[in-house]
Amino acid sequence: MIPINELQAKIYQCLSDLDIKVYDEVPLNSPMPLISIGDYNLYSMEYKGEGYIFEWTINIYTEYEGKKQVNELVSKAINKLYELSESNLNEFYSIDDVILNNTNINRLEGFYVANISIKIEIC
């Protein structure tokens, strides 16, 4: 069985260390700043035998004026996600590597949203 829930729990635990609320599904009117564990794509790692690649999106929302807070939160989140490398998910799978795909930051009406696309390889 693919350990999707175990990986999401690891992501949640790791991002919770940033001392802001982390959500799977953000409740209406939640105060910012906050992090949302977004959507993912899942691929088979045929070239490495049994393993999988997740491309997961992490969303950060902040109402702070200017980019200072969003930039700091993006940097901290990426560094925390890198710490997941070589950690165990269960007795069969562990996280082999964490790679940043890309990040974009957008100013919307009254707040910033940062979208971090992270690649996580599990074997």
Q: In a 3-state reduction of DSSP, which class is residue 103? A: strand
How far is Cα 58 from Cα 45, in angstroms, rounded to an integer? 22
Question: Cβ-count burial of 116 within 10 angstroms (0-12 exposed, 13-18 middle, 19+ buried)?
Answer: buried
Give me the pLDDT at residue 49, please.
Answer: 67
How far is Cα 96 from Cα 79, in angstroms, rounded to an integer? 16
Give me the pLDDT at residue 46, please.
Answer: 75
Beta strand 95-108 with 34-44 is unpaired
For residue 21, what are its two tokens? 């609320």
Per-residue pLDDT of the chain (123 residues; tens, 9 = 90+): 999 999 999 999 999 999 999 999 999 999 999 999 999 999 998 765 689 999 999 999 999 999 999 999 999 999 999 999 999 999 999 999 999 999 999 999 999 999 999 999 999
Query: What is the secondary structure of 21-61 as a DSSP string?
Result: EEESSPPTTPPSSEEEEEEEEEEE-GGGSS-EEEEEEEEEE
Give me the pLDDT at residue 123, please.
Answer: 92
For residue 8, what are its two tokens? 């999401």
Give me the pLDDT at residue 48, please.
Answer: 59
Q: In a 3-state reduction of DSSP, which class is residue 98? A: strand
For residue 83, what are its two tokens? 């710490």
